[in-house]
Amino acid sequence: MTTLPLTPDYDAWPVEVDITEVSATPRQVRVRWRDGRVSRFHSIWLRENAADDTTVNPATRERILDLSTLPAWPEVEVAEVDDSGALCVTFAPEDRRLRFHPGWLRAHDYDNRDDPEAPLVPVTHWRGGPGAAPDTLSAAGLLESEPGSEAEEAILAPALASGLGKGLVRLRDLPTEPGSLEAIARRIGPVRPTNFGELFDVRAKPDPDSNAYTSLALPPHVDLPTREYHPGLQMLHCLENSVEGGQAVMLDGFAVAEALREAHPDAWSTLTRVRWCYANTATTTDYVWFEPMIRLDDRGELLEVRIADFLRGPLQTAFEDVEPAYEALMTLQRLLRDPAFAIRFTYRPGDLVIFDNRRLLHARDAFEGSTGHRWLQGCYMERDEIRSRYRMIQRARRRRRLTVEA
């Protein structure tokens, strides 16, 4: 029996439903699956997504085909299923026969997908309140596990799922040696350096260049909204904590934004429209960016919040927008003080909190430095890294499953 063809990627695509019937017109192929689903594929889409070496580089799986170099629009001469279950299409005027993996086709069936951009994990907006706590998992043995092993995946998969779905997860039982955060972070992806370095120490120090490096209370905020693209992910790793006070506070900025939209639609409209100035003008750097406080993506879904009172520069907007903007801001600030939104907890050594810095707001109670030591190390990376790592884990699991079934 002929083996199934390669796919134009490195993923594994199980054939859970096979093809039972194929028909075609010059510019479309119609496929019926054993479960009754009917899928239609355009001839040009099929031609561009073939996996042969005229279409993709077999070493990199990156496309090398330039559609505009084809002699004419690719049309279907023959479409059939071969004895391996692959869809086979002969294209004119090239007279080229190309094969398509049925598992890959089913997974990329754009004719039947409700939302091809659906998140990897369903996004859940949450509120806090008394007794609420972040999703908490033991990460004991993470650094001793082999990278890419099932032992590593058993720790990372649920942690990444919580990070993607709720924007927040707490890992426990990790080492407390300074610098170990970098090794932990790289189990997910590359660290994003900033003017604070790759790793930064969150503890009171002389001549601080941020309020974070004091014992002061911090209001709910995201980090680095002063950047054109502020970091998508933040990690805070507790090395020491023996002070009185200093409780951590976390709020789901998306839940706050939705509450604002429901109860105060005018304030919502203003904060999604008016571009605020965010500024971090330290002695050695000067970062400034303008953006709305609440930002939506092209589909109208929440994309990010930029809330950080101590990093807002002077508002510079249309004269008639100044008072409405401040009215909306104060409405939002009152919501942020509502304890129903907040999760409060105390870091203990070995804890690592991972959160979406473009969604989650974090804050801190003041602490008394003379009562002990409070030392967190932090770093940033991007949302892309957590999504990529999660996909890689799912890919590895599919490959293992296919190997067992074979």
pLDDT tens column, 211-244:
666 767 889 999 999 999 999 999 999 999 988 8
Integer angstrom CA distances of residue 355 from 88, 98, 134, 160, 231: 46, 45, 10, 10, 11
Integer angstrom CA distances of residue 104 from 40, 47, 108: 14, 14, 6
Alpha helices in 167-219 (DSSP H): 180-185
Q: Does the structure show a pLDDT above 70 at 392?
A: yes
pLDDT of residue 205: 66
Q: Does the structure show a pLDDT above 90 at 257?
A: yes
- DSSP secondary structure string, 283-302? SS-EEEEEEESEEE-TTS-E
Average pLDDT value for the chain:
94
19-116: CATH topology? NE0471 N-terminal domain-like (3.30.2020)
CATH 3.60.130.10 domain locations along the chain: 136-391
Amino acid occupying residue 81: V
If you average pLDDT over residues 380-397, what whole number do you get? 96
If you average pLDDT over residues 258-267, what whole number do you get? 98
Distance separating the N- and C-terminal Cα atoms of the chain: 14
Tell me the pLDDT tens digit for each residue of 167-225: 999 999 999 999 999 999 999 999 999 999 999 999 876 666 666 667 678 899 999 99
Say whether 106 sits in a helix, a strand or coil: helix
Question: pLDDT over 70 for what percent of the chain?
Answer: 96
Say whether 34 sits in a helix, a strand or coil: coil
If you average pLDDT over residues 156-161, what whole number do you get? 97
Give the DSSP H/E element, type plus range, for residue 76.
Answer: strand 75-81
Q: Cα(165)–Cα(57) distance, rounded to whole angstroms?
A: 35
If you average pLDDT over residues 118-134, what whole number do you get? 93
pLDDT of residue 372: 72
Alpha helices in 108-214 (DSSP H): 150-166, 180-185
How many CA atoms, within 13 angstroms, populate the side-chain half-sphere of residue 264?
20
- For 136-391, the fitting CATH number among 3.60.130.10, 1.10.10.10, 1.10.3720.10, 3.40.50.300 is 3.60.130.10
Question: pLDDT over 90 for what percent of the chain?
Answer: 85
If you average pLDDT over residues 355-379, what whole number do you get? 88
